[in-house]
Structure 1
Amino acid sequence: MSSRWLRRVPLRPTLRLRLILLNGALLFGSGLLLGALASLRWEQPTGLLTVGLPSLLLVTLLGMGMAWLLVGRALRPLHRVTATAQRLGEENLDERIRYAGAHDEVAELAGTFDAMLDRLAESFESQKRFVANASHELRTPLAVMRTEVDVTLDDPDADLGEYRRMARVVRDASERANSLVEALLVLARSEAQSGRRLVRKVETDLADGAAAALSAIDREAKRLSLHISTTLDPAPVVGDPSLLERLAGNLLENGVRYNHLHGQLWVETGADPEYAWLVVANTGFEVAQADVPGLFEPFRRGGRERTGARGAGLGLAIVRAVCDAHGGTVSAVALDEGGLEVTIRLPVASA
């Protein structure tokens, strides 16, 4: 056995080394036991030791050598998993193990690792899109404000009326930027609590949140001459009241924002022994059912009136995040006559 080979043998207690030593101990122990049993019948025990012990040592060493090769081959995919994990970074999340061996525990581990990488890659890509869209949405009102200020200041003939017009444009743009920042903070707060215990848990009623949201949209609803139908039965839940109020507010604001003149808006709350629900439906322009799931993604809009500057496209994303944080679900259906029906279901507060 050369010194070069010894240097290549890992001295740390690896899984491979422990399995080899265990295999050798079992072989040697089994051999000793068989030898002891045989010596009871052997007429010359000294001869048994002279012939049997070297043979036992040889068989043990051969068994350990074969085990070394077999275990090394079995653990090779694990080394690939380790090497892939060490190489991974944000720029090369497309690497995968793609194990093609026997359908055993190692294949299960490799498949689980590849599935985890798929989720990580999707998450990173979603984060990149989110940051890019948020930057774009924030940059737009800021660019409008700067352009208006520069144009007005560079105009030597600008009068008080022109400055007033500029001030109104800057105010509107700043309000849009402020609304976007507030929506981003609510979304971040909701997603941070998704799958975890809520920081604040208070018994509240979805009907109260819907009533408050209806009051907030009253002026805009009257401007559009909307016909509003309500059935606000008790819908007790336990959760963060401010997030739940924002949930109802977003649904009703969308119901008004994407409606049309003399349209309709339906609001219903209620509960059964398991769930409390909030349903908001509105008339409006047609939305393809295939486009509905995408409306719950940040900065996604659909339909003719969902593609302009009527909001940042965070309303339904916040609704979904709040539902997830409270252990509930949200679903939406595109209505045949146009508009959406969105249903929120949350665990009902126990009596």
Structure 2
Amino acid sequence: MNPPPPGSRFQLWPRLRTAWAGRPALTIRTRLTLTYAALFAVGGSLLVLALTTAFYRLIFQPLPDDAVPSRLDPDHDHFIGLSDQIRDAAASHLLRIALILLLAVVATSALVGWWTAGRMLRPIAAITAAARRATDTTLHERLNLPGPADELKELGDTFDQMLERLDAAFVTQRRFVANASHELRTPLALTRTAVEVTLAKPEPTEAQWRTMGQDVAQSTARAQRLIDALLTLARSEQRVTDPVDDDLADVAAEALDQVAARCQERNLDLRTDLAPSPVHGNVALLGIAATNLLENAVKYNREGGLLQVSSGQVSDGSGGGGWAELTVSNDGPLLDEADPEALFEPFHRGRNTRAGDGRSGAQQAGAGLGLSIVRAVARAHGGEVTARARPEGGLTVTLRLPGSP
């Protein structure tokens, strides 16, 4: 079969289709303007057609019988013909004027529609400009769009809320990285100092080498605990995988077994009330959360203090699974009302944070990520964790998770 000759309509149509597909897309402002103009043109054309039709019907309808003279004038036919010519000319002139006026009105409406569309779409242009210049250093800027509470105003407010959340996330991330860098620097500095001090001696003794080895081992263990805690925190902030039905009371009982020896060492008054609390979640993460709660309660408790652990199920009034709760209370120093919320921040150890007084002791052995991990686990399961300072001293932390039906 011979190919179609060049320039034939068989080759013209693919070129036209390719050219049409490759044209630049029309902006929403242009589309709105064309829509306004097209609607006005259609409406105006119908109006002109209706007026012209009515005009023709009125001027070309026959005269009524009482309007026809009984005695015809010799020039009657001449006058009738002249009258028809005048009416035809008037109708044609009216039609031309109507079409010219229609074109002028359509052009004016297109210009007015272009300006109106620009005014209406100005908030979208502001949102687009803000999105283009949004970086980690400009997330504090807000649109604060003026105007009535319409869809565009709602879109601008939603964009401002998104910027606010992103700004808070970036601030938290920068603070977390800075704190993590500082925390990791401390054991590395201790390790380097122990090695340099030992190597600087002319003839180190075996006891000095052993002391250096112990210092290095302790610093390495501290760095390892911190890295493990960071990995656990990162894992806890992800969505829950492989959820199963379990009981929060059983999870708390297993966590109690891990801290039982330290409770005896500190002569703590352990009181438990573990009622059934069905829950649906990741068993490993729930175990980490319960263990962290109890380890913090033991570590920051006073000698011979109270450690109270209780669990139960709270109804949400909807007839579903309700909420599964685990509450841990301990004795300790008096805390301000604002302190408990700050304890959920990463690397926060109350008065023993990096910004605190720097005193050494058992309370500084932790990385300051225990309650942060508990909060991350709670959020990953769709729950929450709250802390409340006890009037007599100490803290009460409540872990609340969606219950299993």
3-state SS of the aligned residue for 1:292? helix
CA shift digits 1:289-334 (9 cap, x unpaired): 1111111111122246995523121111100110111111211110
Q: TM-score, normalised by structure 1?
A: 0.91
Gaps of 5+ in 1: 1-9
- Cα deviations across residues 6-48 of structure 1 (Å, max 9, x unaligned)? xxxx963111111111111111111111112112221354333
* Higher Cα Rg, which structure: 2
Q: Give the match for residue 53 of structure 2.
A: 40
Choose from 276, 288, 292 the match for 2:336: 288
Structure 2 residue identity aligned to 1:278? L
Match of 1:192 in 2: 238
CA distance in 1 between partners of 2:149 and 2:402 (Å): 40
Q: What does residue range 49-64 of structure 1 map to in structure 2 within 5 Å?
A: 49-64=95-110
Gaps of 5+ in 2: 1-22, 57-87, 315-320
Question: Residue 21 of structure 1 corresponds to which residue in structure 2?
Answer: 34
2:118 corresponds to which residue? Answer: 72
Q: Which residue of 2 aligns with 1:318?
A: 373
Bigger drift between 340-349 and 130-139 goes to 340-349
- Once the two structures are superposed, residues 255-304 of structure 1 have per-residue CA deviations (whole angstroms, 9 ceiling, x without a partner) of 01101111110011222451211111000111111111111111122246
Counterpart-to-counterpart distance in 1, 2:24 and 2:115 = 17
**CA shift for structure 1 position 346:** 1.3
Identity %: 45
Equivalent residues in 2 for 1:187-266, closer than 5 Å: 187-193=233-239, 198-266=240-308
Separation of aligned partners in 2, 1:335 and 1:94: 37
User: Would you say the 8 A contact 1:16–1:68 is kept in 2?
Assistant: yes
Confirm or deny: 8 A CA contact 2:347 2:353 kept in the other structure: no
- Partner of residue 298 from structure 1, selected from 346, 361, 364: 346
Matches within 5 A, 1:34-183: 34-43=47-56, 44=88, 45-183=91-229
Residue 342 of structure 1: aligned partner:
397
Shift, 1:123, TM fit? 0.9
Greater than 6 Å deviation, 4+ residue runs: none
What is the distance in 2 between the residues matched to 1:31 and 1:59?
9
Match of 2:5 in 1: none
Choose 284-293 or 76-85, whichever is displaced more. Answer: 76-85
Contact 1:270 1:277 in 2 (8 A): yes
CA contact 1:200–1:240 (8 Å) conserved in 2: yes
Aligned to 2:350, the other structure's residue is in SS state coil
Q: Quickly say closer, same or farther: Cα 1:282–1:305, change in 2 above 3 A.
A: farther
Give 1:51 deviation, angstroms: 1.3
Kept in 2, the 8 Å contact 1:285–1:339? The answer is yes
CA distance in 2, matches of 1:305, 1:177: 17
